[in-house]
Structure 1
Amino acid sequence: MTTIDTSLYLSNQPKTRIPSADLGKDEFLKILMTQLQNQDPTSPMDDTQFISQMAQFSSLEQTMNMTKSIDTLVQSQLISPVIKYSHMIGKEVTYQAIDPDTGKESGSTSSKVVAVSQNEGWAVLELQTGEKIYADAVTQVTEPELNDKTEQDVDA
């Protein structure tokens, strides 16, 4: 024998309604359906008015979807390590060099950053020497020094 779930009785449902500040597509469709159900049968809603409301709803939904997509794009750009560290291109960085044979630190080395890439979510600085280092290995960032030849070219 089947039993009835008493939690589904109307008397057991919450009596207070919590209003929402958002009017979404579900609410719009409910209003539209209520309008259609309660219209005067002797003078039904004009079909152009109905089509106009549907067009407004469609436009609103597309705008909301576009807004959500733009927000997602902006958030993804803000957390991108390439964007975050792109200002370092052209800067001179000092970092702890690692000896590839021993794996031990071999002192501080400096080089100019020529590109920034990403590896498993981490920013990788590509240096003028051809070496690639993680951005968190950098101990100092400076403007590159101009050599005598470059200074003469700038003055001329």
Structure 2
Amino acid sequence: MGYVDTTGVYLGQQEQRLAASNSPAKHDTSLDKDAFLSILVAQLTHQDPLNPMEDTDMTSQLAQFSSLEQLTSINKGITTLNDTMSKNDILTAVSFIGKEVKAEGYKVSLNKGNASTIYYGFGETVSSIKMNIYDSEGAIVRTVDLGSKEAGTYQYTWDGKDENGNVLADGQYGVGILGQDLKGDYVMVQTEISGKVDGVVSENGTQFLRLEDGRFINLLNVKEVVNPDASAGDGGGTSGEGDGTSGEGDGTSGA
């Protein structure tokens, strides 16, 4: 008996067999413990009575089966643990909403000429510090000479202007700081940013805190958390910093 294929052509039994033989077979790419056990049972059932499987071979295969079962259980346990940890991380991140945080980062936001504060510090005296500010395409729009600094923590507030004194468009800008120690060797400087958290985003198992100005920081990079009321009137806890004060030669104000 034949049948009509999807194109409306009648196929006989011979054609059916040819069509079936040309159909790609589906094969499993992995072997679970049930399949392993089925193969082992089939092997024992069809072994040659005059040449049975050696005891050592039988023991080896059973040991392999036991190891496979244990690894499967461990894998399920790890998956469950990861799911639990991910949920706990989200709950932890949510608790940051409404709070001011300081974290490792290099992005500053500019809104109507007002830029967010950038924090930086040194473990040793540096003789020269330069700060580069980059636009979204990575081009340097401003270079600021911060002079020399003793060991300590400092803050800087950019005035939102480029090299020619023009106020730049609102948005997010990158910051990079490079210093030189007393020997003239270059020192890379870790920068920190701050802001108020208004949301949480989870991406590929990593939790990010979204700040009110649209910047994102990795939850793992948070260094300090304060209540907004507690931070009122706080100068940022920095010392020896004069870069952001009014009258500074680099044109900044209100650090």
TM-score normalised by the chain length of structure 2: 0.30
| Greater share of residues in helix | 1
Structure with higher RCO (Cα < 8 A, 6+ apart): 2
**Higher strand proportion (structure 1 or 2):** 2
TM-score (norm 1): 0.45
